């Protein structure tokens, strides 16, 4: 059996790493099983891509498509054209995709048209906001996938509501948390806190990269006004995504930042998890960080109107406050005053999701 897993953008690497490790265990015992990795090149900067291969001990990808940046149509189309060549040459039995980025839908669509079975890991998540490019990618990927692996119960309900047959859907937990669990011992050895001189003090960790937050100057200014106020109280560590960096330059905002806001390049996996684990508060618009902070019990304010990961709000430490920045600021200040939201770890987020996925696939596909 030949399986090709796809990675494209930064949030994909930590999801495919545990799946690769789980397949490797079985292919060591049975050489007829081979797991190959295709990197589309959607993210290509050393700090957005290569550092994750190193940190997560992923092998060099078997195929690199080198598609790079572009409009949604250009990027998706380029992935499809290049991935089709790989599929025609390799004839895999299965294509496995993770998450919700453009590479996810592009590769699923290409495989489905060639009648190759497809697997979507992290299926069923819905923000119900079709203006988010990721929501379009999620809905379409799920619609044409043959195996749907779900991280939280809301995903089961969403797929049921959309009429997806139970026989395709499996609740297995969260592969991104598998990576987190696996690398926690290394995380505890990271010296990133010393590098920022924050080892013995509370700090706020910020990430912002959604087009809805960073592409429009008025919204970006409002967000920085909130961060400037928090910076009066704590150091604010802000590893900055290339999209956000470009916009800060374009809108001439760099000079308006408080001196306690420390902008840095994107940070590798191990060091970044160390920051999540030790932060007093995270302000973010990322999807994955909502989950990682819930697992680690770190306070998180999500600066978005909706979340496709409602379990992080229902049982975790996440608060969804994007539609009211005044309230977001108030809550943030309360947290820094010690008024925290208690949370617990969602069901099956236990470090074994990839093992379950591989077992199910091997049982179902002959």
Q: Which string of DSSP letters, residue by residue, matches 162-182? A: TT--GGGEEE---HHHHHHHH
Candidate list 45, 188, 216, 326; residue touching ligand UD1; CB under 6 A: 45
State how beta strands 94-98 and 34-39 pair.
unpaired
Question: Does residue 102 bind ligand UD1 (CB under 6 A)?
Answer: yes
Question: Does residue 50 bind ligand UD1 (CB under 6 A)?
Answer: no
Minimum CB separation of residue 9 from ligand UD1 in Å reads: 4
Phi/psi at 271 (5° precision): -65, -35
Stretch touching ligand UD1 by CB under 6 A, among 8-16, 307-315, 316-324, 358-366: 8-16
Calculate the CA 363 to chain-centre distance: 28
Minimum CB separation of residue 44 from ligand UD1 in Å reads: 5
Q: Which string of DSSP letters, residue by residue, matches 215-232? A: SSHHHHHHHHHHHHHHTT
Question: Does residue 139 bind ligand UD1 (CB under 6 A)?
Answer: no
Question: Does residue 242 bind ligand UD1 (CB under 6 A)?
Answer: yes
Question: Does residue 9 bind ligand UD1 (CB under 6 A)?
Answer: yes
- 182 among known catalytic residues: no
CA distance 358 to 22: 7
Name the percent of the chain in helix, strand, coil, to the closest 5: 50, 15, 35
Minimum CB separation of residue 69 from ligand UD1 in Å reads: 3
Candidate list 186, 243, 258, 341; residue touching ligand UD1; CB under 6 A: 243
Question: Taking a C-beta distance cutoff of 8 angstroms, is the pair 155, 174 a contact?
Answer: no
Question: Does residue 344 bind ligand UD1 (CB under 6 A)?
Answer: no
Which residues are identified as catalytic? 209
Binding site for ligand UD1 (CB under 6 A): 9-11, 42-45, 48, 69, 100-102, 133-134, 209, 241-243, 246
């Amino acid at each position: 059996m030949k399986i090709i897993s796809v990675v494209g953008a930064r949030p994909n690497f930590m999801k495919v790493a545990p799946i690769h490790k789980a397949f490797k265990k079985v292919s060591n015992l049975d050489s007829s099983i081979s797991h190959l990795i295709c990197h589309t090149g959607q993210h290509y900067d050393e700090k957005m891509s290569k550092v994750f291969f190193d940190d997560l001990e992923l092998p060099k990808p078997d195929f690199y498509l080198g598609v790079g940046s572009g409009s949604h149509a250009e990027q998706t189309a380029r992935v499809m054209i290049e991935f089709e060549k790989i599929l025609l040459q390799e004839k895999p039995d299965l294509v496995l995709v993770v998450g919700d980025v453009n590479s996810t839908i592009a590769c699923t669509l290409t495989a489905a048209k060639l009648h190759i079975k497809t697997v979507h890991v992290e299926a069923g998540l819905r923000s119900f906001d079709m203006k988010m490019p990721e929501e379009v990618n999620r809905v379409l990927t799920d619609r044409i996938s043959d195996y749907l692996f779900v991280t939280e119960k809301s995903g089961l309900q969403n797929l049921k509501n959309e009429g997806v047959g139970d026989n395709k859907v499996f609740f297995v937990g969260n592969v991104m948390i598998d990576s987190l669990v696996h690398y926690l011992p290394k995380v505890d050895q990271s010296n990133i806190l010393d590098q920022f001189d924050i080892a013995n003090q509370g700090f706020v960790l910020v990430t912002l990269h959604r087009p809805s937050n960073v592409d429009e100057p008025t919204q970006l200014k409002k967000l920085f006004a909130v961060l400037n106020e928090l910076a009066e109280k704590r150091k604010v560590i802000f590893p900055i995504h290339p999209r956000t960096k470009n916009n800060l330059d374009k809108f001439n905002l760099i000079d308006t930042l408080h001196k306690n806001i420390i902008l840095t390049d994107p940070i590798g996996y191990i060091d970044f998890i160390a920051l999540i684990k030790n932060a007093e508060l995270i302000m973010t618009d990322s999807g994955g960080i909502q989950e990682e902070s819930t697992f680690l019990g770190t306070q998180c304010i999500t600066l978005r109107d909706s979340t496709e990961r409602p379990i992080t709000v229902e049982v975790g430490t996440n608060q969804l406050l994007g539609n009211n920045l005044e309230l977001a600021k108030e809550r943030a200040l309360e947290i820094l005053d010690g008024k925290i939201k208690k949370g617990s770890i969602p069901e099956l987020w236990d470090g074994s999701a990839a093992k379950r996925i591989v077992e199910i696939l091997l049982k179902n596909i002959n």
